[in-house]
Amino acid sequence: MDAGDLTQKLLAAQDEIINTLKRERDQAQAAYESEKRARLSEQQVKTALQAKIKKLPLEVTYDGQECYWLGPRRDGKADGMGTVVTRDCEKKLYVGDMREGVPHGQGTHTEDVSEAHFWYEGGWKEGKMHGKAEVELQEFGDAFDAPPLCEVIFSGEFEGGTATEGTLFPGPRTNPNAKWEAGGKLNGSAEDRLRNYFERHSSADLPDWLPLFPADDE
């Protein structure tokens, strides 16, 4: 074999090695790109699922009931401005601020007790009624001794979940208004106005957080 033939064989062998390396490189690159696309696709699926989960109502327990929270959340808890609704979504139980899963800030709580519907609208602190607030009452049904009420029945201060002082029936129907403080006596001038209400209601007809006025009721 002369020198020219040997050179040709060496060049051919070198080209084969180079071509083999290129194929292996291309295969490795293709495998890398495929794996990268797979990882990206998986991440996109996770992101899409997380976005959908965030749009679903958050299951919460509010006032002893299993409910839904419609609003922002943090670490799996209601956090921010939103609404608590019953599981059938037929009734709003709370509208307002939440922090770490409990009312905190300003909000409106609704509650049915006996034959009346109550609204509490005011301040909250760590899940308890706290600060300035108003309580509105709407009675259900008809009463023979007096027409059903539908008005603000208390405006005042709450602390740690219960009323502490304020004005009973602050609207124009009572003049003068009945000032009240926990443990204190009511102004006698409001006695007739209050009698019609309290003769129809007992402590069983009021929410736990709203005392039976007057405090020294005999």
CA dihedral 78, 84, 85, 87 (to 10 degrees): 30
Residues whose CB falls within 8 Å of the CB of residue 191, separated by 6 or more in sequence, listed in order:
none
CA distance 136 to 30: 70
CA distance 23 to 29: 10
DSSP-H helix ranges across 69-217: 191-198
CA distance 62 to 103: 10
Handedness of CA 124, 129, 134, 137 (dihedral sign): positive
Longest dimension (CA), the chain: 132
CB contact at 8 A, 114 and 204: yes
pLDDT tens track for 154-198: 899 999 998 888 887 776 555 556 677 766 666 555 555 565 565
What the block records as the tokens of 162 is: 């219960």
Q: What is the mean pLDDT of residues 192-216?
A: 65
Average pLDDT score over the chain: 78
Domain edges within the chain: 1-56, 101-198
